[in-house]
């Protein structure tokens, strides 16, 4: 039997982030060692509270550390038009009973990596501010990072501007630091999350899987009712890749990030090798088996419900 993969999860939980965190908590193939909360402007406390509330929902205690309250070099820009005022469309979760760690996210991540016997995977679901600060303030920790699975970026159009995806747009300087850090990176972005849509059939089945399935059915319906072909569940793709990389086709590129001007937050792939002469810094997910993704997601929700039954 394979050992579960130990991960650090960096997150600013909206609705898809809630589902991704739920999977990280409940999937037997994942060992969640630490959760760090990502840039959420003045609402860092509610963001951390959401993570703790989700822990309470599943009756688990995993260390949670509060992270960056603003991007490195630009003002924080919330996206409340989609996520609701507090990031989960104001859905009511059980109140947490455990406080976050006293250490800030970067210190907690450094200690967790440093004390681990094996290199750990970081799964990044928000802006990469915490990770950029970790890499710049503690470059000695890089050998303890197995890889970073980063949700964000796009090779074919954005969702904040015509070219920029939300996570990279939120802190393009942090994204640039990440892609130039010399660590192994898997970029899971809009290219595949626009393909891995929850189908009408999947949404109908969710409501039959008990209270957890009904919760996600309600949240996804209220949040994502915007695509006739299905519902995109962005961040969940990073966990799907972690658990089932065979669902995804990847291609390695050199990725750079535009950090200023109207194109800030754009991720650009050197597809001609014109500038980097064969050097690559990321494996980019380009296509996904959407049917397998849907089947896997339903099985994850079933596991969550069985743990609570």
DSSP track, 238-267 = HHHHHH-GGGEEEEEE-EEE--SSTTTTBE
Confidence at residue 271, expressed as pLDDT on a 0 to 100 scale: 85
Whole-angstrom distance, CA of residue 174 vs CA of residue 251: 23
Confidence at residue 14, expressed as pLDDT on a 0 to 100 scale: 82
Token readout for 297 is 């997601």
User: pLDDT band at 81, cuts 50/70/90?
Assistant: very low
Domain range summary for the chain, segments of one domain joined by +: 5-308
Whole-angstrom distance, CA of residue 105 vs CA of residue 103: 7
**In the chain, how many H helices and how many E strands?**
12, 12
Q: What is the mean pLDDT of the chain?
A: 89
User: pLDDT band at 50, cuts 50/70/90?
Assistant: confident
The percent of residues above 90 in pLDDT, for the chain, comes to: 74
Question: Which class in CATH covers the domain with range 5-308?
Answer: alpha beta
Whole-angstrom distance, CA of residue 100 vs CA of residue 118: 25
Whole-angstrom distance, CA of residue 205 vs CA of residue 253: 38
- What would you measure as the largest C-alpha separation in the chain, in angstroms? 56
- The secondary structure of residue 42, as a DSSP letter, is G
Confidence at residue 83, expressed as pLDDT on a 0 to 100 scale: 46
Confidence at residue 153, expressed as pLDDT on a 0 to 100 scale: 98
Token readout for 29 is 């193939």
């Amino acid at each position: 039997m394979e050992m579960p993969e130990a991960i650090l999860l960096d997150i600013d939980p909206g609705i898809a982030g809630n589902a991704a965190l739920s999977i990280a908590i409940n999937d037997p193939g994942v060992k969640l060692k630490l959760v760090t909360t990502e840039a959420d402007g003045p609402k860092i406390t509610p963001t951390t509270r959401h993570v703790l509330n989700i822990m309470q929902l599943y009756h688990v205690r995993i260390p949670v550390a509060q992270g960056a309250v603003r991007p490195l070099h630009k003002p924080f820009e919330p996206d409340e038009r989609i996520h609701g005022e507090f990031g989960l469309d104001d859905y009511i979760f059980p109140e947490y009973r455990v406080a976050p760690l006293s250490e800030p996210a970067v210190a907690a991540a450094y200690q967790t990596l440093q004390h681990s016997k094996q290199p750990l995977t970081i799964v990044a679901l928000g802006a990469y501010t915490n990770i950029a600060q970790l890499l710049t303030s503690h470059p000695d920790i890089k050998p303890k990072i197995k890889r970073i699975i980063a949700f964000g970026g796009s090779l074919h159009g954005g969702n904040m501007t015509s070219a920029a995806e939300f996570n990279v747009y939120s802190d393009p300087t942090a994204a640039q630091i990440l892609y130039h850090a010399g660590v192994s990176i898997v970029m899971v972005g809009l290219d595949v999350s626009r393909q891995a849509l929850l189908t009408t059939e999947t949404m109908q089945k969710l409501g039959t899987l008990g209270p957890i399935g009904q919760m996600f059915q309600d949240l996804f319906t209220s949040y994502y009712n915007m695509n006739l072909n299905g519902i995109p569940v962005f961040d969940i793709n990073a966990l799907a890749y972690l658990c089932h990389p065979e669902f995804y086709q990847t291609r390695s590129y050199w990725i750079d990030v535009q950090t200023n001007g109207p194109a800030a937050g754009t991720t650009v792939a050197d597809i001609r090798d014109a500038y980097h002469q064969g050097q690559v810094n990321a494996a980019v997910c380009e296509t996904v088996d959407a049917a397998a993704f849907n089947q896997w997601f339903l099985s994850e929700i079933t596991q969550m419900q069985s743990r609570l039954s």
